[in-house]
């Protein structure tokens, strides 16, 4: 049928929007929509079988072999009807097993469907992913569907529709706040928060921005931005207070907070570079500047801004607030703090204390000679 790759939104609108009787690969980060698509496939298989429940078999990619997948793909349901074989976390299949499956992908017996579903590890582009040969084989024989994250606007619209389905009205401003500042665009997390807000408002039924502020916790990255905003304004007390809230009230691990600080500083660095080259949101960047940015989309500022336009607005403000000198010192200090937390360098044994000292130095530029290298050189960053 030729190579078929499409987003889930395109798939839903397509005339041939079905995975019945063919090979399918569900990839991308939006796990909630994958679960919805599998539920829809199960109902479709039930209807195709005249109301009879389909034979539904789930294999774990980490332990599934090529022979497990292929044997089941060539076997129809024992008592007739539809048979669906689902391989979850398909990217965890051993490379050799994936290659064996890719060579054998072909026409399926009547009534048999095979669906490979990636998990979070594969979606985030870590060490493992479904191998290119297997993706090509499935695209040629069946369908590869990309369950990509929704934009802020689409996620807010989805939240409003879902709230209505649950018997509530989510005001537009509340929906946007929920997505931009509280939960993000993950639909599973959004649904859970909408259900919690629905219980909170009760018979009133209308969910406002005030309700969202009262019930829903902020995104951790929102607090990271608030912390760096305090750093840019040299408000050490406020910055330390925000940090203590992250470590205490929200029980975030010091290592994770340090990692997020590093990611955000690097994002601000890229944004400052882009702005000085003449870039603005909605405007193309020249090839020379684009080549200076990380090629990994997870670390590339332009790729992140495309997925989350609100992030560009926040980062632009901080890029204008922080100087190159501040950013350079921040990166050095982050490195020193990382070494201290890992106990590679220095004498501090309390990671939370190390982070507080880091934040104070970022705000004040005071030389806090509290870490020493093994050679006796005093260092903080």
For residue 286, the SS3 value is: coil
Per the structure, the complete domain to which residue 25 belongs is given by: 5-146
Calculate the CA 321 to chain-centre distance: 28
Q: Which of 103, 124, 146 is the last residue of a domain?
A: 146
> How far is Cα 178 from Cα 194, in angstroms, rounded to an integer?
9
Helix (DSSP H) and strand (DSSP E) numbers for the chain: 18, 10
Winning range, highest mean pLDDT, from 54-63, 76-85, 360-369: 54-63
Q: Which of 162, 189, 215 is the last residue of a domain?
A: 215
Domain identity same for 190 and 95? no
Ordered DSSP codes for 228-254: HHHHHTT-HHHHHHHHHIIIIIS---H
Kind of pairing, strands 378-379 and 371-372? Answer: antiparallel
Q: Which helix (H) or strand (E) holds 320?
A: helix 309-321
- State pLDDT tens for residues 67-107: 999 999 988 766 667 899 999 999 999 999 999 999 999 99
For residue 130, the SS3 value is: coil
Confidence of residue 171 (pLDDT cuts 50, 70, 90): very high
The DSSP call for residue 178 is I
Q: How many domains does the chain have?
A: 3
CATH number of the CATH domain containing 159: 1.10.8.60
Whether residue 300 is predicted with pLDDT greater than 70 in this model: the reply is: yes
- State pLDDT tens for residues 137-169: 999 999 999 998 888 889 999 999 999 998 899
pTM for this prediction: 0.63
Name the maximum alpha-carbon separation found in the chain.
78
* Dihedral angle over CA of 282, 287, 288, 290, nearest 10: 50
Whether residue 1 is predicted with pLDDT greater than 60 in this model: the reply is: no
CATH number of the CATH domain containing 357: 1.20.272.10
> How far is Cα 381 from Cα 376, in angstroms, rounded to an integer?
14
- State pLDDT tens for residues 9-35: 888 888 777 889 899 999 988 889 999
Domain identity same for 159 and 295? no
Alpha carbons within 13 angstroms on the beta-carbon side of residue 98 total 24
Q: What percent of the chain has pLDDT over 70?
A: 88
The alpha carbon dihedral of 305, 310, 316, 319 has a sign of negative
> How far is Cα 138 from Cα 368, in angstroms, rounded to an integer?
58
Instruction: Name the one residue in this structure whose structure tokens are 């709230």.
Output: 163
Domain identity same for 235 and 354? yes
Instruction: Name the one residue in this structure whose structure tokens are 């801004």.
Output: 305
For residue 348, the SS3 value is: coil
């Amino acid at each position: 049928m030729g190579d078929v790759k499409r987003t889930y939104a395109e798939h839903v609108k397509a005339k041939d929007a079905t995975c019945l009787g063919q090979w399918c690969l569900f990839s991308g980060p939006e796990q909630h929509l994958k679960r919805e698509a599998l539920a829809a496939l199960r109902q479709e298989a039930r209807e195709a079988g005249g109301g009879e429940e389909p034979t539904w078999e789930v294999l774990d990619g980490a332990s599934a072999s090529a022979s497990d997948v292929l044997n089941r793909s060539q076997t129809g349901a024992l008592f007739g009807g539809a048979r669906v074989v689902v391989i979850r976390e398909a990217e965890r299949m051993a490379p050799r097993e994936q290659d064996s499956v890719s060579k054998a992908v072909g026409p399926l017996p009547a009534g048999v469907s095979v669906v490979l579903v990636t998990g979070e590890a594969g979606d985030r582009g870590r060490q493992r992913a479904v191998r290119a040969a297997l993706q090509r084989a499935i695209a040629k024989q069946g369908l590869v569907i990309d369950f990509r994250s929704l934009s802020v606007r689409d996620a807010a619209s989805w939240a409003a529709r879902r709230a209505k389905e649950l018997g509530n009205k989510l005001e537009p401003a509340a929906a946007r706040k929920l997505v931009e500042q509280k939960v993000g665009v993950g639909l599973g997390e959004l649904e859970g928060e909408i259900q919690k807000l629905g219980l909170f408002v009760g018979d009133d039924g209308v969910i406002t921005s005030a309700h969202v502020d009262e019930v829903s916790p902020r995104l951790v990255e929102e607090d990271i931005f608030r912390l760096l905003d305090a750093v840019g304004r040299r408000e050490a007390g406020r910055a330390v207070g925000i940090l203590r809230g992250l470590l205490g009230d929200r029980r975030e691990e010091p290592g994770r907070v340090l990692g997020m600080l590093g990611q955000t500083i690097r994002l601000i660095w890229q944004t400052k570079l882009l702005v000085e080259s003449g870039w603005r949101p909605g405007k193309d960047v020249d090839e020379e500047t684009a080549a200076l940015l990380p090629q990994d989309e997870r670390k590339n500022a332009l790729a992140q801004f495309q997925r989350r336009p609100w992030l560009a607005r926040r980062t632009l403000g901080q890029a204008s607030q922080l100087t190159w000198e501040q950013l350079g010192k921040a990166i050095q200090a982050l490195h020193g703090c990382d070494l201290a937390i890992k106990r590679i360098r220095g004498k501090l044994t309390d990671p939370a204390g190390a982070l507080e000292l880091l934040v104070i130095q970022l705000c004040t530029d005071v030389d806090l000679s509290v870490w020493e290298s093994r050679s006796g050189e005093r260092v903080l960053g």
